[in-house]
């Protein structure tokens, strides 16, 4: 199954995509994680993407389209994949449709107040992509999956969160219509606990 996770920053795309990856044994492809890894490794792509990410702007379409196109050609994607954070513009979605066959676009929906509370308390693992909320860490600072020290993303600061929400509304929200018109959209309201929301995601995908 080839799945897209849509939804505003902080809706839980990464969390639910990772859980589903473990269950379905198909890779989670997070353009945000790939870009952050490139920044950490100081590759040319990372260096060019850094300023956009830190301001909460989108990285140019041709950069992310190239990354995803390459990634989907790898062996582990042949049985299916979960796209987390891509596409984020109509141009990306149009490009994707030339090299991938999508089965479902899952729209995780959440009100702005909840988004802000989640993002401002978020800690991430730059090694394995794990995400946590400080309220669940009980003062611990290491990744429970791999032991790496967790960090706060620069773009999880209050001003940048606001900008990311505006960017989402202007550039990414139109994809809801885009996939609705193709008959591929399913919306999941993510107002519950992580486990409850995960159950709603599984239901939307008709998983037993
Ligand atoms: P979140 O969903 O929490 O905003 P991501 O990790 O998906 O976080 O993305 C972080 C940042 O990486 C985005 O704000 C943007 O700058 C960049 N980015 C990730 N995916 C894309 C994409 N498909 N197109 C353009 N920029 C992207
Ligand atoms: Zn980790």
Residue 46 half-sphere exposure toward CB, CA atoms < 13 A? 11
- 36 noted as active-site residue: no
For 49, the token pair is: 């993407």
Residue 90 half-sphere exposure toward CB, CA atoms < 13 A? 10
Please give the backbone phi and psi of residue 62, each rounded to the nearest 5 degrees, phi first: -65, -30
**Which positions of the chain have pLDDT values less than 70?**
none
Looking at residue 42, what is its pLDDT?
96
Ligand 1 pocket, CB under 6 A: 9-10, 13, 31-32, 35, 52-53, 56-59, 64, 85-86, 88, 92, 155, 164
Which among 3, 56, 9 has a CA at the least distance from the CA of 173? 9
Q: Ligand 1 atom closest to Cα of 33?
A: 6
Active-site position among 19, 118, 122, 123? 122
Looking at residue 80, what is its pLDDT?
97
Q: Ligand 1 atom closest to Cα of 53?
A: 16
DSSP 8-state assignment for residue 60: P
* Ligand 1 midpoint to CA 36 (Å): 9
Task: Say how many C-beta atoms besides its own lie within 10 A of residue 140's C-beta.
Answer: 12
Whose tokens are 């802000």? That residue is: 116
3-state secondary structure of 5: strand
Looking at residue 208, what is its pLDDT?
80
For 203, the token pair is: 């239901």
* Ligand 1 midpoint to CA 208 (Å): 31
Looking at residue 112, what is its pLDDT?
86
C-alpha to C-alpha distance for 202 and 208, rounded to whole angstroms: 8
Looking at residue 49, what is its pLDDT?
96
DSSP 8-state assignment for residue 77: G
Q: Are strands 28-30 and 131-133 parallel, antiparallel or unpaired?
A: unpaired
Please give the backbone phi and psi of residue 74, each rounded to the nearest 5 degrees, phi first: -75, 155
Topology adopted by domain 2-26+79-204: Rossmann fold (3.40.50)
In this prediction the pTM is 0.91
Query: Longest C-alpha distance within the chain, in Å?
Result: 46
Which residues 6+ apart lie within 8 Å of 4 measured at CB? 82, 83, 86, 87, 102, 104, 105, 106, 179, 184
pLDDT tens figures, 137-157 = 999 999 999 999 999 999 999
């Amino acid at each position: 199954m080839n799945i897209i996770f849509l939804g505003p920053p902080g809706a839980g795309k990464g969390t639910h995509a990772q859980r589903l990856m473990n269950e379905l044994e198909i890779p989670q492809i997070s353009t945000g994680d790939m870009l952050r890894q490139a920044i950490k490794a100081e590759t040319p792509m990372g260096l060019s993407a850094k300023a956009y990410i830190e301001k909460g702007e989108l990285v140019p379409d041709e950069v992310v389209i190239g990354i995803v196109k390459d990634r989907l050609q790898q062996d582990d994607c042949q049985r299916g994949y979960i796209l987390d954070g891509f596409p984020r513009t109509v141009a990306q979605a149009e490009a994707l449709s030339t090299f991938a066959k999508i089965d479902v676009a899952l729209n995780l929906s959440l009100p702005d107040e909840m988004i802000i509370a989640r993002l401002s308390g978020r800690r991430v693992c730059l090694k394995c992509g794990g995400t946590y909320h400080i309220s669940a860490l009980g003062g611990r600072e290491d990744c429970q999956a791999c032991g790496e020290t967790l960090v706060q993303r620069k773009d999880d600061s209050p001003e940048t969160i606001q900008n990311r929400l505006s960017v989402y509304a202007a550039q990414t929200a139109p994809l809801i219509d885009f996939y609705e018109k193709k008959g591929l959209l399913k919306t999941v309201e993510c107002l519950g606990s992580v486990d409850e929301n995960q159950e709603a995601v599984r239901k939307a995908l008709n998983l037993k």
